[in-house]
Chain A
Amino acid sequence: MCGGMAAKGPGGPRWWQNRRARLLCMLALTFLFFVVEVVVSRVTSSLAMLSDSFHMLSDVMALVVALVAVRFAQRTRATKKNTFGWVRAEVMGALVNAVFLTALCFTILLEAIERFTEPHEIQQPLVVIGVGVAGLIINLLGLCLFNHHGVGGHGHSHGHGHSHGGRQHPRSGPKPEQPPGDGEAALHREETSTLVENCSSSNGVSQEKLGDMKDDMADLQVNGNAGHYPLDVEEVEEDSSAQLNMRGVFLHVFGDALGSVIVVVNALLFYGLWNPCPKDGPCFNPCINNHCMENATLSQTLGRANKSEQESITVAGPCWLLYLDPILCLMMVCILLYTTYPLLRESALILLQTVPKQIDVHSLNSKLRTLEGVEAVHELHIWQLAGSRIIGTAHIKCPDPSTYMMVAKRIKEIFHDEGIHATTIQPEFASVGSESGRGKCEFPCRTQCALKQCCGTGEDSTAKKTEKSSSLSISCSEVVIEFPKTRRTKSESIPSVKLEANTDQNEQFESSL
């Protein structure tokens, strides 16, 4: 079944290199197992099994979310509805999965707390062990499927023995060697350094590596598919944004695996150590916190019994076994939350249009400003679309158009060196009467639009305060004059590059409401 996915989707002919194929495979497996578990639970009328089966269902939902994201994100072309294409879908899928997982952890936590107050015995531990082990196997399979993809996998392969090696090398070129450590340590390291390495590898430096990779792929390809170019897109894309998505799925499967481990361990211990109350005969269960039973039954049974009978009264226990389950659940929730948080943070930071970690806006700004012919830089914005696609815009102030022509290429080079390849540079030529060298935006929108602009009009506050005269062009100082009080009402009226204006930040401190 999974082999049939070979032809579909980009990313090469081998199905396991194809994100979508793997997701579909895992989806099918998980859903099948869910159905099996439900059936078994009906047959054995075991409630625990039913609840475990619904954990599988949550896995299915996570996989569906990731699949939808992958399908969307393959459409990298701009459309009428989305001028950037849908590449960001994977980041959003990762966020949705991370939040979903957090919510599930929350509900598990609630259940565990409930179990503390009302401990349950496990009925039919053998059946539970059986199904638990089966679930664990499926989850481990899923972990392997998504592991060296979801974790960014360099040096993390589980020795699957397929030709990932050839593919991995170029991508992991600039990346420091990672020992094939255990899953979680590598996971943590990966999370923080993924973006850095991937983006550094996406600089011009690695272009020749891409070329090498193409040659490798030519050897590896079974179908003789000549579509190299999209493969490259897929390869580079998989660096970060697809990784995020796969990481979300991986964490779900990981959580499920942990859950299965807990179920199996608990059931095993229960089976081995628990001394159940037999159906007939007097039995005293000290673990169930029932006032009435404690007082009445105990005194009754002990009172009526003579010595020999006392010996034969079975006491159910040991009681700590009943608390094992919630304790293990709590530990699992802590582990899951700890591993989910980095994913949540990373995808949220991308969605918030923040500057990617490896780019230093200060130094970029100073590099741009020190160029000859550049008088000022304002409205410098850098943000990450998804993966290695970083986008920048800037307004550059030059004395005249010919200077700009000379300097334009240099500017693009500076951006390129930082890894920002999609830039829109707006040149502005000094207008008559502007004395401020600090970057007054020549082309803001009309004055009423000040509040609707993405950011203030790029003015720094000292210039704002001192510029009382209006200039010929619609400049930002007009904004200040007309709406003196509103500077406080919107927090966007802050200099575009904060580093330039250190003086009046406190003024801008008030929120917009």
Chain B
Amino acid sequence: MGRYSGKTCRLILMLVLTVGFFVAELASGYLGNSIALVSDSFNMLSDLISLCVGLSTGLIARRSRRGPRATYGYSRAEAVGALSNAVFLTALCFTIFVEAIRRLARPEPIDDARLVLIVGTLGLAVNLVGLLVFQDWGACCRRRRPPALPPAAAAAVLRAVPGGTPTGEADEAGDSPNDQKSPEEGSEKKKERKSEALNIRGVLLHVMGDALGSVVVVVAATIFHVLPLGNAPCNWQCYIDPSLTIIMVFIILSSAFPLIKETSIILLQMVPKGVNMQLLTDRLARVPGVSSLHEVHVWELAGGKNIATLHIKCQTPTDYQDAAYKIRKVFHEAGIHSVTIQPEYIDHKTSQLLCSSPCISKACDSQLCCSQREPPLAKTNGYTEKNDSCLSELHKDNGSSKNDIEIPIEYPLAEDSIKNVKNCDMSDEKSQLSRTRL
């Protein structure tokens, strides 16, 4: 398969169209001495910018070569690009909104209704073409793919090509790949497709916004053309444009918001949708050989690729080897395929739930990804720690020295102060905080 996918192909096509229209509008605006045309052409410019962002991040993410500068490659570029596009669009909507409010305060009629109508219709046509192009056709460059592929490869290719429909490619490959995949992978494929298309969704938002804008322009210009105002003062006709614009702004924002949410899930290292941490840790804790586990982290890199790391406490190395395989199985069933497991062997000095090897000194705690004072998402396998003495001490101390960090509801206990924990350390390692909750 060549460098270009259905996605990139479509983006390039749209880019060419938009550039062409932009140049044409600009030229005709200057030649015909019409400001409306010039300003509308600059709206196309914002479309262009979003297309460039989408295209470039898509290309960066495709060529996600891992190297010394980025150990995971740049596959996240699409999410960042989609977020940038969404924020850019929100900012543009804001300025359009401001403009509309100004117009409501001081209404103006459209002067040259006919010209505006023509330009608006042309712009609408270009935008509709763009919208159609970005629909899930994917037929653009499919012919470029090499025709014959072994059936197993087809399954992989299927997943790798976004925007392509499964059945279509199965037909081309001449073999139904469904035998090879387990059912969960089918849904994973859809998830992957959806999140890979983040890139396109950002661009699509812009195109849709532009299309809506053109619709508003056409409607307003039609009204002025059909019922010309002449020199009369502004009547209800002058309020159509701004009010429709405000409605349009709300429509665009309501569709930008889900995109922002989705990219946030990826970029903020949140647990990916479809992974239930509670269930997962429960299952993991029940794996034989695992005494307890802590520092469980699950996050999504991009496009359905989930990564997990965790620390487990085992009695012996053989325990660890056996448990490792089963742990991976649990993760695999949850859809997480890149797992790094750190074994720690139980010594009776540290508690079951705290990391035996956080860093070389406890002073690094603030640079740990998560503080070791209260290991969250830690679970033991069965029994709980019987070290409540220090716990109650800390409770009392915490009452007075509680500071105002916002504490999420899941962790009712307050954050410790260093002083108290150090006391704990010195007196008895065992009496560090232990939690058997998530």
On A, residues with C-beta under 8 Å from B are 7-10, 47, 50-51, 54, 57-58, 61, 71, 74-86, 88-89, 92, 95-96, 99-100, 102-104, 106-107, 110, 113-114, 117-118, 202, 204, 207, 210, 225-233, 236-237, 348, 351-355, 360-362, 379-383, 385, 388-391, 393-395, 401, 405, 408-409, 412-413, 415-416, 419, 421-427, 429, 443, 445-446, 448-455, 482-486, 488-492, 494-496, 498-499, 505, 508-513
Cross-chain pairs A/B with CB under 8 angstroms, 16 sampled: A51-B98, A80-B271, A80-B377, A83-B296, A100-B90, A210-B363, A352-B76, A389-B367, A421-B359, A423-B359, A424-B341, A426-B342, A443-B341, A445-B337, A454-B338, A513-B62
Alpha-carbon distance between A230 and B365 when the two chains are bound, in angstroms: 11
Q: State the CA gap A381–B340 with chains docked (Å).
A: 11
B364:A421 contact, CB within 8 angstroms = yes
Asked if B70 contacts A354 (CB within 8 A), the reply is yes
The smallest beta-carbon distance between B47 and chain A, in angstroms, is: 12
Closest to A202 in B: B367
List, in ascending order, chain B residues with CB within 8 A of A50's CB: 102, 105
Q: Smallest Cβ distance from B2 to chain A, in angstroms?
A: 8
Interface residues of B in 395-438 (CB under 8 A from A): 400-408, 410-411, 415-419, 421, 438
Instruction: State the CA gap A429–B343 with chains docked (Å).
Output: 13
B185 at the interface (CB under 8 A from A): yes
Distance A225 CA – B72 CA, assembled complex (angstroms): 43
Sample of 19 further A-B pairs with CB below 8 A, known A103-B88, A415-B359: A77-B370, A92-B83, A92-B264, A96-B87, A99-B91, A107-B91, A229-B416, A232-B366, A385-B369, A409-B360, A422-B367, A423-B359, A424-B341, A453-B338, A454-B306, A454-B307, A494-B73, A498-B65, A510-B1
- Let me know if B91 and A230 touch, CB within 8 A: no
B164 to chain A, nearest CB (A): 9
* Chain B contact residues, CB within 8 Å of chain A: 1, 3-8, 35, 38-39, 42, 45-46, 49, 59, 62-77, 79-80, 83-84, 87-88, 90-92, 94-95, 98, 102, 105-106, 149-150, 152-153, 155-157, 159-162, 180-182, 185, 188, 192, 264, 267-271, 277-278, 295-299, 301, 304-307, 309-311, 317, 320-321, 324-325, 328, 331-332, 335, 337-343, 345, 357-361, 363-364, 366-371, 374, 376-377, 400-408, 410-411, 415-419, 421, 438
Within the complex, the shortest CB–CB distance from B154 to chain A, in Å, comes to 9
Contact A424 B267 (CB under 8 A): no
- B254 to chain A minimum Cβ distance, whole angstroms, is 17
B156 — which chain A residues lie within 8 A by C-beta? 450-451, 483, 486, 489-490
**Max chain B Cβ within 10 angstroms of own Cβ: one of A7, A50, A394, A422:** A422
Q: A451 to B76, Cβ gap below 8 A?
A: no
B62 adjacent to A412 (CB under 8 Å)? no
When the two chains form their complex, are residues A227 and B369 in contact, meaning their CB atoms are under 8 A apart?
A: no
A438 to B404, CA, bound (A): 51
Q: Which residues of B contact A102 (CB under 8 A)?
A: 88
Known: A107-B95, A454-B338, A513-B161. A99 touches B404 (CB 8 A): no
Q: Judging by beta carbons under 8 Å apart, are B68 and A389 in contact?
A: no
- The docked-state distance in angstroms from the alpha carbon of A352 to that of B159 is 23
B159 to A492, Cβ gap below 8 A?
A: no
Among A74, A427, A486, which residue has its beta carbon within 8 angstroms of that of B343? Answer: A427
Candidates B46, B182, B359, B419; contact of A412 at CB < 8 Å: B359
A72's closest neighbor in chain B, by CB? Answer: B268
Interface centre among B87, B304, B361 (most CB of A within 10 A): B87
Q: Among the listed B1, B269, B416, which residue makes an inter-chain contact with A513, where contact means beta carbons less than 8 Å apart?
A: B1
Question: Are the CB atoms of B338 and A455 closer together than 8 Å?
Answer: yes
Report Cα–Cα, A443/B325, bound state, in Å. 8
Most buried by B among A352, A422, A492: A352
Contact among A83, A354, A499 for B297, CB-based, below 8 A: A83
Query: Inside 8 A of B401's CB, which chain A residues have their CB?
Result: 225-227
Could you tell me the distance between the alpha carbons of A398 and B372 in the complex, rounded to whole angstroms?
Answer: 28
A309 nearest CB across to chain B (Å): 31
Contacts of A415 in B (CB 8 A): 359
Q: Are A226 and B338 touching (Cβ within 8 A)?
A: no
Please indicate which of the listed interface residues B4, B64, B88 has the most CB atoms of chain A within 10 Å of its own CB.
B64
Do A83 and B271 touch (CB < 8 A)? yes
9 residue pairs, one from A and one from B, having the closest CB atoms = A513-B5, A103-B91, A227-B403, A401-B317, A511-B62, A229-B418, A445-B337, A78-B376, A422-B369
Choose one: A9, A76, A99, A490; the contact of B371 (CB below 8 Å). Answer: A76
Residue in A225, A405, A486 whose beta carbon sits within 8 Å of that of B153 in the complex = A486
